[in-house]
Amino acid sequence: MIGDSRVDRGGTGLRVVFMGYNIWGHVTLDALIRAGHDVRLVVTHPERRDRSGVFSNQPVEHLAKAQGIPLLVRKHARDALLADSIRERNPEVIVASNWRTWLPPKIFNIPRYGTLNIHDALLPKYGGFCPINWAILNGESQTGVTVHYVNEQLDLGDIVLQQRVPISLTDTATDVLHRTLPLCGSLAVQALSLIATGDVQRIPQDPRQATMFHKRSERDCRIDWRLPRTRVYNLIRAQSDPYPNAFTFYQGQRVRIKQASLTQDCYAGTPGRLFCRLPSGVIALAGPDATGQGQGILIEVVQVGDGPPLQATDFFRRMGGYLETE
């Protein structure tokens, strides 16, 4: 939990307008305040509670109010009144963290030192939305956090700072979130220090190396057991709590896979087949029709509907059935 105790900003830092949302925005704003920057205005999106409540349990709005910082709530940044409100605060820099809509030039060109965005990926790779989830789904061995200038191209402005974060073969999106989240605040503070001292270096991004990803939807979480087992496993760990879980269907019931692992023993058969029970879970087959070289996925924890999480061995009582895509 990030403390909301009032901090004396002292007027010694840069004049900042902050635009951000959810826990990423909260962590970044809190770091800027504690570093002594003069946050003159906070702009955030309307509160909307996520399914788990984890991402939205520390609203930017609450922190701004607790600190006595003027606050505006906007769905987007296109209206002229917002630009006027920002200009009236005479910011030296705008800092954005998890601002969910496009920032137009009439906004990002206002400050003397421009506008910085905090993005939880190693740009130019994984621009756009849900970068942690996509990186794990694609089997990446690392991700990170980037501070970059905002321009007219989404997530393609010059880079100020980057810090890498490793991803192991067993890491879930939750694990990576906990590693990257603190960097949103610390790198934002470091970037403003570089600007204040005139030591900032702008590193252009190569647009030919850029990859841009869309928001993940419910359909993206559906398990296709015909895919290679590593792809299925990556989907399960990419959609760990508090993200919407990967799901399948069993005897007409929608089943969320909350925890799974890869096995070392070889199992052969048809994708989606419930092969056998082990003390720690249930083996499900994935990938093209196996030839004895596949190793299966050990399903450990599931959830059905709004019920509590269950050990897979408590839910799948009989073997021989099939997990379906619908």
Domains of the chain: 15-213 (3.40.50.170), 219-315 (3.10.25.10)
Which pLDDT value is given to residue 57? 54
Q: What's the confidence (pLDDT) of residue 288?
A: 75
For residue 109, list its beta bridge partners. none
Contact 34, 93 (CB under 8 A): no
Cα–Cα distance between 50 and 111 in angstroms, integer? 33
Positions in the chain short of pLDDT 50: 1-11, 53
Question: Is 255 in a helix, a strand, or coil?
Answer: strand
Alpha helices in the chain (DSSP H): 22-34, 60-66, 80-88, 105-108, 131-137, 173-197, 229-238, 312-315
> Do 187 and 145 form a contact (C-beta atoms < 8 A)?
yes
Residue 50 pLDDT: 56
State the pLDDT at residue 6: 36
Tell me how far CA of residue 62 lies from CA of 26, 66, 117, 273, in angstroms: 9, 6, 21, 49
Cα–chain center distance at 268:
36
Contacts with 88 (C-beta within 8 Å, 6 or more apart), sequence order: none
pLDDT score for 10: 44
At 63, give phi and psi (nearest 5°).
-65, -45
Structure tokens at 150: 């905002």
pLDDT score, position 289:
61
pLDDT at res. 11? 45
* Confidence (pTM): 0.90
Q: What is the pLDDT of residues 167-212, one digit of tens each?
A: 999 999 999 999 999 999 999 999 999 999 999 999 999 999 999 9
What is the pLDDT, as a whole number, of residue 237? Answer: 98
**Owner of token pair 């910011």:** 91
**Where does 204-290 have alpha helices with state H?**
229-238
